[in-house]
Amino acid sequence: MGYLADESSRSKRADPRLIMAECKSILVLALPYSPHPFAPLPKGKEKDVQGEVASYAWGEDYHSVFSKRLQTLVEFIEGQVGHPVSNRWYTDTGPILERDLAQRAGLGWIGKNTCLIHPRHGSYVLLAEILLGIELEPDPPFRTDHCGTCTRCIEACPTQCILPDRTIDAGRCISYLTIELKDDIPTLLRPLVGNWVFGCDICQTVCPWNRFAPSDGDPALAPHESLPHPNLIHELELTSQEFNRKFRNSAVKRSKHRGYLRNVAVALGNSRNPAAVPALQKALDNPEPMVRKHAAWALDQIEMDHR
């Protein structure tokens, strides 16, 4: 993610007034989503090869959900003050230090897995910010750290990307590998990705604070039937048009068609399930070289497991 090191972006993250000169306050918001447990395979589906999708992407794309509500909130604020207010908003889309701002706004602390942890909703929250051209009385920051001596997230991470100093080696993170990375997944990391095809929830599912999180998040993010545990054999056969249609209103579209098929191929290889062989052999003719390369790797994994 080289864009993070861009000097212009770094300067804007340090001083939001470089984004909006009139900025006097920043309103930080958190949208909870459901911490769904990993469900067992439906009865009669034991032989299906299923993948995992990070639970924030199970429903409508949160960017769309947030943008509608942020616009409504700005209109409410303008109604309260009686005049137009300079504003700009972001949700995971701009050079904003979202977690740091959320901690300074009192929403929670930054955990050892680098996620913001809300004392009632755990880490299953999505963040957004509105830069405003009016002064608001600031809320007190969240100053305490409630991770204590717990290291469950560090120990549970398959790729060991969570470092002891509360930073992440992003190049090893499964979320990065399955979403942000646009090239080949490094060969040594492929077996560690497991059956994740978009994002990863492992460091959250093991976090004790998420035991207290409500089981139901915002209704707009309620899971669509086919998203939580996709049948990977079927997914590998998605055309570009079918991918765009299926994920039109989903965050999964961020992975792009070829990246998603790459992830699916890796997950099928990790399944070691011979039922995936015909679909993977068909993928060897995919027009995308990256998909062909990962399908060939997956076939090798299955063959090695059944020699």
Strand 52-53 vs strand 196-198: parallel, antiparallel, or unpaired? parallel
Compute φ and ψ for 117, nearest 5 degrees: -115, 115
Catalytic residue, candidates 6, 15, 48, 92:
92
Contacts (Cβ under 8 Å, ≥6 apart) of 17: 23
Residue that has been written with the tokens 């405003």 in this structure: 132
Burial class (CB in 10 A: 0-12, 13-18, 19+), 130: buried
Q: Which of 122, 112, 119 is nearest to 149 (CA)?
A: 112
CB 123 within 8 A of CB 113: yes
| Six-digit token string for 219 | 């209704």
d(CA 110, CA 135): 26
d(CA 242, CA 17): 42
Residue that has been written with the tokens 């137009």 in this structure: 84
Q: Is 201 one of the annotated active-site residues of the chain?
A: no
The catalytic residues are 92
